[in-house]
Amino acid sequence: MIDRYTLPEMGGIWTDEARYRKWLAVEIAVCEVLSRRKEIPERSCLNIKKKADINVKRIEAIEEKTKHDVIAFKQCVDGYIGKDSIYFHRGLTSSDVLDTGLALQLRAAADIIIRDVKKTIAILKRKTKQYKDLPMMGRTHGVHAEPITFGLKLAVWWKEMERNLIRMERAREIISYGKISGAVGTFSNIDPAIEAEVCKKLGLKNAPVSNQIIQRDRHAEYLSVIAIIGSSLDKFATEIRHLQRTEVYEAEEPFAKGQKGSSAMPHKRNPITCERISGLARILRANAITGYENIALWHERDISHSSVERVTLPDSTILLDYMLNKFNWLMDNLNVYPENMLANLNKMQGLMYSQKVRIALTNKGMLYDRAYKLVQDSAMRVWKKEGSFRELLLKDKRVCKLLTEKELDACFDMGAYLKNVKKIFKRLGV
């Protein structure tokens, strides 16, 4: 991933240096277990642990000739170890090292994402509490529907991120599996007990059964969860973008002192962070598709998945980390405009209470279809700017025959309308 979207901690997991260090950790763990089992000399294991090291440039130079990254890695490490290198990589195949090391990287990346998501949840919960009583227009199809509160909108996001946390924690568990089963997974040159012990040393579980690789449904699930979380952020960002539109202007992403919105128009304040989040979410969804494609490999394995994962796994974790951090900053500093929310509530002159009026009429015995048509008649006249909804209803003899002015006014009571919203927040504990 380009530096523009890479935060240092997450980016550090995916450097060449970090990758080879994970491979080395797997190899040394194998040597330690072999030594404990008296399958290699203890002094040789101690020597390997003391001397084993990597040099990225040296590995790259060797790989230019061998065309094989793990062999290049081993030859580089062998040069540091010396004669005891005969015990290094004993009984293993490349994917034992590659896939177990990759599991360590993906687990570390998941830990960062989980931490980010927990911050998102905390911010959204706090903002939900702050704005739980702030009324605003609810919209369906982009059109005014009925009143909600801004806190209710944020509560939906908060609970969605809690589900995403559960998903990510499960994805972490699913991906935290290693294998030390050798070529085609038959343990032909290494005892199965070694696999379990090595994985335990590394904080992983060992795959119950594998062929030459860890099965890619695990990685597909991991990428899918990342795509879902990214899509949630896309959803939230899209809503803020709509709320920032000049015609709405109920909320706005932060605009820093000295920031410029347009090279041509000095007045512009554009939702660029939200748009960036929405754009990057498309990459996460596309990368998830590659995870599905990687599940079907030939026989006991091929390496058509390998080239893909070198791009998609680092890029997806790096991007989601960046997106979560940007969204958390955005929500922490979100500009909210209650006066514009109130103005928009009043814009349609009471149409948002149409359902209340219809129910009041049916409570007086009017049939549903008749009540609906009667209320709709007045509502359509409001759209034509013939008057306010309340005024037109009061002029309708069919309404006044069943509802007194006081009963009609009760339908236009915002507090009464939103009284049950308070019960939602009580249920949520805010």
Task: Find, among 341, 312, 91, 350, the residue nearest to 223 by Cα.
Answer: 312
Which pLDDT score, from 0 to 100, does residue 175 have? 98
Task: Find, among 214, 148, 161, 196, the residue nearest to 320 by Cα.
Answer: 161
Domain annotation covers residue 44: no
Cα(333)–Cα(331) distance, integer angstroms:
5
Residues 365 and 249 in one domain: no
Residues 168 and 254 in one domain: yes
State residue 82 phi and psi, 5-degree precision: 90, -145
Residues 326 and 256 in one domain: yes
Which pLDDT score, from 0 to 100, does residue 261 have? 79
Q: Please state whether beta strands 177-178 and 135-140 pair in parallel, antiparallel, or not at all (unpaired).
A: unpaired
Number of separate domains in the chain: 2
Cα(145)–Cα(136) distance, integer angstroms:
11
Neighbours of 420 (CB within 10 A): 8
Q: Which residue is associated with the tokens 């568990």?
A: 173
* Last residue within a domain, chosen from 299, 318, 341: 341
Cα(97)–Cα(25) distance, integer angstroms:
9
Domain annotation covers residue 385: yes
Residues 191 and 289 in one domain: yes
State residue 178 phi and psi, 5-degree precision: -115, 175
CATH of the domain at 354: 1.10.40.30
Helical H segments across 52-93, by residue range: 56-66, 69-81
Which pLDDT score, from 0 to 100, does residue 246 have? 95
| Residue 190 near residue 182, CB atoms below 8 Å | yes
Structural domain boundaries enclosing 424: 348-428
Give the CA radius of gyration of the chain.
Answer: 30
Catalytic residue among 141, 267, 299, 307: 141
Tokens describing residue 182: 């050798």
CATH of the domain at 211: 1.20.200.10
- Give catalytic status of residue 141 as yes or no: yes
Triad 219, 21, 209: Cα angle to 5°: 40
Domain annotation covers residue 165: yes
Q: Which residue is associated with the tokens 């994970």?
A: 22
Domain annotation covers residue 39: no
Residues 334 and 398 in one domain: no
Which pLDDT score, from 0 to 100, does residue 257 have? 78
Cα(396)–Cα(377) distance, integer angstroms:
10
Residues 299 and 413 in one domain: no
Residues 236 and 217 in one domain: yes
Count the alpha carbons within 13 Å of 243 in the hemisphere toward its beta carbon: 24
| Residue 253 near residue 335, CB atoms below 8 Å | yes
Catalytic residue among 68, 188, 262, 304: 262
Residues 337 and 352 in one domain: no
Residues 334 and 381 in one domain: no
Domain annotation covers residue 84: no
Tokens describing residue 58: 């040296």
Helical H segments across 131-216, by residue range: 150-175, 192-201
* Last residue within a domain, chosen from 314, 341, 368: 341
Domain annotation covers residue 163: yes
Which pLDDT score, from 0 to 100, does residue 334 have? 97
Cα(429)–Cα(359) distance, integer angstroms:
31
- Give catalytic status of residue 262 as yes or no: yes
Residues 323 and 394 in one domain: no
pTM of the model: 0.95
Cα(417)–Cα(149) distance, integer angstroms:
11
Domain annotation covers residue 320: yes
* Last residue within a domain, chosen from 341, 356, 372: 341
Residues 249 and 100 in one domain: yes
Residues 309 and 361 in one domain: no
Instruction: Per residue of the chain (430 residues), give pLDDT as tens.
Output: 899 999 999 999 999 999 999 999 999 999 999 999 999 999 999 999 999 999 999 999 999 999 999 999 999 999 999 999 999 999 999 999 999 999 999 999 999 999 999 999 999 999 999 999 999 999 999 999 999 999 999 999 999 999 999 999 999 999 999 999 999 999 999 999 999 999 999 999 999 999 999 999 999 999 999 999 999 999 999 999 999 999 999 999 998 778 887 778 888 889 999 999 999 999 999 999 999 999 999 999 999 999 999 999 999 999 999 999 999 999 999 999 999 999 999 999 999 999 999 999 999 999 999 999 999 999 999 999 999 999 999 999 999 999 999 999 999 999 988 999 999 999 999 9
Cα(109)–Cα(223) distance, integer angstroms:
12
Domain annotation covers residue 10: no
**Cross-strand pairs, 143:** 140
| Residue 300 near residue 114, CB atoms below 8 Å | no
